[in-house]
A and B are shown apart, each in its own frame.
Chain A
């Protein structure tokens, strides 16, 4: 049947045009123009991003996009990082692999975040995809080095194996020997999460030596400093390098060998690792410092003077991750040396200490905001803050896209005025018009949420803890934040009213997490009943929610939009509220 079209391009022409459109969002927009564009687009979509693996089923994805080569899936909600999501909740990748093994024999790339990956899944990947190239397991768990051995042995054209921050059952370092001698295709290898157990170093050296395109290599802690020089000499083309332990027995030649090795790396731009640093060896880095754009010292327990010395050698630095040992003085030095700084993350060295162990306060962040005009992304752990500081920071940095402040003690007020920090965060959202991600902390009333709802029009992700007074706070956010996709809340007095009044909003978002709030079981049931395209999951490890009165608050609530209905792999402590008002289990 010849459809009448307003133009006369053959499909191939449109396909060719579409091939220049890479971003998922743009592709989605293209597919909605008209039915024929939808058809053409879906046949030539090669890359799919699924932000919530339970929002859609593998079969549905395969049906719509039959020729996919690259898939990215995310599983557990973000708060799983902090042990708020019980083990066994879900996020299993095996069903996806099973379906894709049949449907996508030419699949090349799998990127997973916060998913449960088993050795069985890994073996299936190695067996099923002949041209498999990229495996990224970000913050995943459930597999062992046996699964990795299968990948190493089975994927003849493997380019990327990135296990960043995953939990791997380290059974044996010998999995590395499973890379065949013929494997020379590696471009990126990140094994930094592997335990402190020995990794087969000779196998590693041989592998590195025969992969001329290796650009990114991140070693694990078991590799000691004296071995690094060898590795670097085998791969001087590295752009990104993660050291293992930055320590070794004091030996005369180590420093000079190391310095020479680093000097040979003319392309090196990014460094990380640095467990157990011996400061005496830091000068070995000087030859590369001037080119460094990214430096992750967040595991390095070196103190302010040493950090300052290192950082002042890095004028091109764009990204710095560091422990709070840097202190206000170090941040001031950073502000004067690194004018290109775009991203700063300061982690606490002693998060549970009652007294501060370092002199890191709001002043450090203020200096950086003043000295680094390009600053866009901040993650800052500290113990005190003032509204005045936040206002200053907001005015200095109107370009913030991500601002995450964690004042360690919950509900901490402005230490000078004893007031809540509403005005400070209000200034952040008011001045930073492109803010996409915000994490709040400190003493906060409903007022801060009013500011957020009023100003944060581009905000996509909001994290809230121990804040607010009433449902009005939540209502401000749900009704005001037009771009909101992910909302995660813990320990706030937010209950039924705001959720029920804004139920439709929840369908425009990826997900909502609420734990230790005051949302009643009855409201959850109602939400599940009325909103058919939401999965309303109640999580309670101690007892079934229906054993208590319906007015009782649920322990944890996870609501997410889905077109595949309630999932079938729920553990005993998760209940889904469904359309008929029954509880699925």
Chain B
């Protein structure tokens, strides 16, 4: 009994910390205690099944299909008593805004996640994380080569400014269409950039390909850092903080190709994606003097996705 409580207690403690969910916590604990009871009930049939095995597997191989089926269907039944539908507030708290409305099944939620954090519907292979299975090292090379071929911003740093035009012409003559190169550059293969947040030792990586606006990027970063910061019990941060409009204790900045640190949100999204090298969530106090429009009310530029 106690073991089960510890488990769930720990869980809800962590959730309680997650900003803005304080209103939900009473419902949560009521619901979670329901889960606890149910899981206790469920574990017994499974336990008996396990004992029957020869200790070689959790459900012996011989006539096991029947047994394990039985065990699992009772397991499944217990699971059916409480589905995510029973506590939509918990799940929707976690789903990002603009996520799919069907909040119920984790499978869908995960499908949405695997598609992208919040941007709309999947449009083929490019939206699935880690597919096709090409190593980041190789992807980076592809990006740089595509950029070099398009003579984009001359940023390949190899001093081949004259070459790209020829290379590009060759490509055009060869397959008569430019669309593939254009797609490359707009989507930007190099989706993953490093993000560090002041006060948190572990850096993360965020996939820029999965976002089409500053807002969705900021939301993803807030989810990534502000929630995990809470579970580490560091400085209490509120979920209401907005990284983009300067109203929070932190501000989102990026290092561009020239090595300068800029405030995120000043340039059109696509331009940002092409020039960003890495991100840093900086303390507002340190960010003074970063960009002239800091703390200005010129919100139109920043909040409007392009």
Contacts and interface: CB of A to CB of B under 8 A. Distances in A.
B15 A276 contact: no
Interface string B229-272: 00110000000000000000000000000000000000000000
Q: Binding site of A, secondary structure by majority: helix, strand, loop or mixed? A: loop
Given A88-B204, A552-B84, A518 B107 contact: yes
B157 A197 contact: yes
A87 B204 contact: yes
Interface string A476-515: 0001000000000011000011001111110000000000
A549 B144 contact: no
A115 B137 CA distance: 15
Nearest to A501: B59
B156 A497 contact: no
A403 B98 CA distance: 41
Interface stretch (B3-11, B279-287, B288-296): B3-11
Given A352-B184, A501-B57, A504-B56, A84 B202 contact: no
A60 B91 CA distance: 43
A516 interface: yes
A497 B58 CA distance: 9
A526 interface: yes
Contacts of B78: 551
Contact of B114 (A301, A491, A522): A491
A88 B202 contact: yes
Interface string A567-585: 0000111000000111101
Contacts of A465: 131, 133
A354 B124 contact: yes
B187 A406 contact: no
B39 A501 contact: no
A347 B138 contact: yes
B145 interface: yes
B142 interface: yes
B175 A357 contact: yes
B52 interface: no
Q: Report the interface size class on chain B.
A: 35 or more
Contacts of B35: 549-550
Interface in A515-561: 516, 518, 520, 522, 526-527, 530, 541-544, 546-553, 555
Nearest to B80: A551
A410 interface: yes
Contacts of A349: 142
Contact of A526 (B57, B58, B207): B58
A196 interface: yes
A84 B94 CA distance: 20
Interface string B84-113: 100000110010000000000011001101
Given A352-B184, A497-B69, A555-B110, A301 B145 contact: yes
A548 B156 contact: no
Contact of A83 (B56, B57, B72, B207): B207
Interface in B154-208: 156-160, 162-163, 167, 170, 174-175, 179-180, 183-184, 187, 189, 192, 194, 202-205, 207
A554 to B, nearest CB: 9
A298 interface: yes
A530 B3 contact: no
A550 B84 CA distance: 11
B50 interface: yes
Interface string B8-50: 1011101100000000000000000001000100100010001
A479 B46 contact: no
B128 interface: yes
Interface in B102-157: 106-107, 110-111, 113-114, 124-126, 128-138, 141-142, 144-145, 148-149, 156-157
A581 B7 contact: yes
B305 interface: no
Contacts of A583: 7, 10
Contacts of A573: 228
A301 B167 contact: yes
A83 B50 contact: no
B212 interface: no
B61 interface: yes
Given A88-B203, A165-B135, A550-B79, A543 B94 contact: yes
A409 interface: yes
Given A497-B68, A544-B14, A544-B231, 7 more contacts: A79-B130, A87-B203, A245-B160, A352-B187, A497-B72, A547-B15, A547-B90
13 contacts: A82-B129, A82-B133, A87-B203, A276-B160, A276-B167, A351-B142, A497-B72, A500-B59, A501-B57, A501-B59, A503-B57, A520-B79, A549-B84
The 5 closest A-B pairs by CB, nearest first: A551-B79, A546-B11, A82-B130, A88-B202, A352-B126
